[in-house]
Amino acid sequence: MNPEPPKDVVVDDRKINISNGDVNGTVVKLDDQLGAGFSDVEMKKIISEKKEDCSLNSVEVNKIGESNAKEVNHQIQSNGTIGYNNYMPAIKAQAHFPKPQPPPQPQPELERSQSVSLAESMPSIGKYIKDRSTTLSAEIIKRLSSLTEDGEDFVVKNDSLNLEVTEIKIPGVKVIVKLKSEDERFDLKGRITFFSRSNCRDCTAVRKFFREKRLPYVEINIDVFPKRAKELTERTGKSEVPQIFFNEKLLGGLVTLNSLRNSGELDKRMRELLGQKCPDGAPKVPVYGFDDDEDEEEEEKDELLGIVKLLRQSLPIQDRLIKMKIVKNCFAGDDMLEVIIHHLDCGRKKGIETGRQLAQKHFIKHVFGENDFEEGKHFYRFLEHEPFITACFNFRISINDSEPKSPSFLADKLARLMTAILEAYASDDRHHVDYYRIGKSEEFRRYLNLTRDLQRVDLQFLSPDERLAFFLNLYNAMAIHAAITIGHPEGILDRRSFFGDFQYVIGGYPYSLSVIQNGILRNNRKPPYSLVRPFGNGDRRLKFAPAKVNPLIHFGLCNGTRSSPTVRFFTAQGVEGELRGAAREYFQNGAIEINLDKRTVSLTRIIKWFSVDFGQEKDVLRWVMNYVDTTRAGLLTHLLSDGGPIHFVYQDYDWAGNL
């Protein structure tokens, strides 16, 4: 069972963090309630397990904590802060549309039961928490005021931000008081804004600086908001990033920021420029809307759209019995051909060619996938009537009828957009992803708009490297979308839904995470513990699979779990080198352990699941030697060269989310 993440509860205007990580007690966190000189007061209270002390069981505590965690996170969002949030609640499915509720039913009178008594005890629970927190607060203040009188010992520590930390021991309570830094001892009424691009080292350094200083900021990534590039040039006279603004005043780039920090002038400038409320002349915060997104302008209409609309209105679409099967929502090809000839006033040859163009642009599909379009007794249906279409999460009521964009353009934009999302809402090492804030962000909304452009894209125009990078990136983006929409999988049935049922329609065909990994990237090999291949004979998606399986792809795919490789997005120009770097990082972070005395090698379970891609176990060790440090490579060389037996074990896989 996965451990519950910390829960935030508000009691007496104080934020209390209830964690189930410690079996013997709870951790209580009070922010800045002991005066202007202190912040982040953490208390560890050992609470008795006796039933007479508290009638609230662990299940009720978890429910209360989860409810209030959402409230606190909502408050963070309402402040307009787009910077990194240290509090990352466990991600559950986010409902984008209201779910229908059944009508209220008359409730029969219940006999008094345990559940009823728990419900009746809720007021007393709130009173218990309130009284206990008041007692703790009073005890803290008392002990702090007596520090100089009784000379009690205290311990001073330094954390990563070089802030003083005082640890005070109180009977039954552990209190850690963190003194405010200089940057925290004055109020920032203004707003820090900086312009950035994806995959920019200087932008990463600026972002890291603000996070470490715990300064809220607004980031405007011009790869996500391309129209803001013009504003950047108008305000600064240049197109280089990063460019930092304190309110409406231009501070400069990374060089200026480092210079001010090293000279000690940064605090002074912050007080001068951020001490007042942000005026209207400052760069605007990106908001939910279509006003500044170039892709939301009127799309180029497909030249065949007029014929498509006519066919949708005039063709007899109905269910038919074809080859002893009930085929829903189909029409006869001869009927479509007659409508095209009459509308265009052309011959049959021109009509057949027009029908093939409609099929190649994925407006129509043969019901059994036998051809694009041919004259004769064949049956077709529109893409929006395909049985799989309503299960695809990039389909919204209707198919995108606009002229399909270039697949290279869409692949590049997908990589840039998702890289920007990770830079804004993931930890620097990419081990932790804030799915909740991604799902609420403007960047993610634009990603969803981009996925609609993939419905009828023609992937055959991508080069092999472009295709490899595209499907790697699509898998990682879909995994993030799935975690936001349906939540992380917690069991076998959840995993089946996560990997098999969450789908996009891409180029007229459905793709799930399993289809991308096993059908495309692994060239139609069986998934682990499966007896069937993803694609049957003649499946048209097979033409996008590489001729040879590259085992490195397994270290470029992130399914959102703790044991998977870190999430990343690839470029078509450097995908091979980037995959090698991903494998090297994964193996050097614990995916292989070697015990020379016992002649045992412990490997990631990914290699066991996909052993057919890696070869025999000793061949795997020779392959892994290319991606480990020199010490491990030497140990492997010794094990392989002396001719002795080697024992292989496989590590447990942690399915918990990478929150």
User: Who wins on pLDDT, 38 or 447?
Assistant: 447
Q: What is the mean pLDDT of residues 68-80?
A: 41
User: 219-253: per-residue pLDDT in tens?
Assistant: 999 999 998 999 999 999 999 999 999 999 999 99
What is the average pLDDT score of the chain?
79
> Does residue 78 form part of some domain?
no
**Are 403 and 299 in contact, with CB atoms under 8 Å apart?**
yes
The pLDDT value recorded for residue 566 is: 96
> Does residue 367 form part of some domain?
yes
Strand pairing category for 218-221 and 192-196: parallel
User: 560-577: per-residue pLDDT in tens?
Assistant: 999 999 999 999 999 999
Q: What is the mean pLDDT of residues 592-601?
A: 94
Percent of the chain whose pLDDT exceeds 90: 62
CA distance 625 to 614: 13
**Domain final residue pick, 580, 608, 636:** 580
Place of tokens 């990352």: 88
The pLDDT value recorded for residue 142 is: 60
Domain co-membership, 322 together with 271: no
For residue 267, the number of C-alpha atoms closer than 13 Å in the C-beta half-sphere is 11
CATH code, 370: 1.10.10.10
> Does residue 396 form part of some domain?
no
The pLDDT value recorded for residue 463 is: 95
Domain co-membership, 430 together with 565: yes
- Residues in CB range of 654: below 8 A, 6 or more apart: 561, 562, 563
Domain co-membership, 592 together with 530: no
Q: What is the mean pLDDT of residues 614-626?
A: 93
In the 8-state DSSP scheme, what is residue 377? S
Whether the per-residue pLDDT at 23 is higher than 50: the answer is: no
Helix (H, G, I), strand (E, B) or coil at 292: coil
User: 544-557: per-residue pLDDT in tens?
Assistant: 999 999 999 999 99
pLDDT confidence tier of residue 303, bands split at 50, 70 and 90: confident
The pLDDT value recorded for residue 397 is: 80
The pLDDT value recorded for residue 186 is: 56
**Domain final residue pick, 560, 580, 600:** 580
User: 75-112: per-residue pLDDT in tens?
Assistant: 444 444 444 333 334 444 554 444 444 444 444 444 43
Domain co-membership, 374 together with 419: no
Q: Which domain holds residue 252?
A: 192-275
The pLDDT value recorded for residue 155 is: 45
> Does residue 372 form part of some domain?
yes
Whether the per-residue pLDDT at 591 is higher than 70: the answer is: yes
Order of strands across the sheet that contains 325-332: 318-322, 325-332, 379-382, 364-366
Whether the per-residue pLDDT at 49 is higher than 70: the answer is: no
User: Who wins on pLDDT, 535 or 147?
Assistant: 535
The pLDDT value recorded for residue 60 is: 42
CA nearest neighbour of 592 among 608, 616, 577, 615: 608
Q: What is the mean pLDDT of residues 635-658?
A: 93
Domain co-membership, 461 together with 548: yes
Domain co-membership, 463 together with 542: yes
Range in 2-6, 390-394, 398-402 with the lowest mean pLDDT = 2-6
Domain co-membership, 357 together with 437: no
**Are 437 and 85 in contact, with CB atoms under 8 Å apart?**
yes
Q: What is the mean pLDDT of residues 421-442?
A: 94
CA distance 213 to 161: 7
User: 284-299: per-residue pLDDT in tens?
Assistant: 998 765 444 444 445 6
For the chain, the domain total comes to 4
**Are 224 and 420 in contact, with CB atoms under 8 Å apart?**
yes
> Does residue 38 form part of some domain?
no
User: 310-333: per-residue pLDDT in tens?
Assistant: 999 999 999 999 999 999 999 999
> Does residue 449 form part of some domain?
yes
Strand pairing category for 14-18 and 7-11: antiparallel
H-run or E-run covering 442: helix 442-452
The reply to whether omega before 534 is within 30° of 0 (cis) is no
In the 8-state DSSP scheme, what is residue 497? I
Q: What is the mean pLDDT of residues 433-443?
A: 94
**Are 418 and 569 in contact, with CB atoms under 8 Å apart?**
yes
Cα distances (angstroms) measured from residue 601 to each of 32, 582, 633, 651? 50, 21, 12, 10
> Does residue 44 form part of some domain?
no
Whether the per-residue pLDDT at 114 is higher than 80: the answer is: no
Whether the per-residue pLDDT at 12 is higher than 50: the answer is: no
CA angle 563, 566, 568 (to 5 degrees): 150
> Does residue 150 form part of some domain?
no
CA distance 608 to 45: 44
Cα distances (angstroms) measured from residue 545 to each of 63, 304, 520? 46, 30, 4
**Are 639 and 621 in contact, with CB atoms under 8 Å apart?**
yes
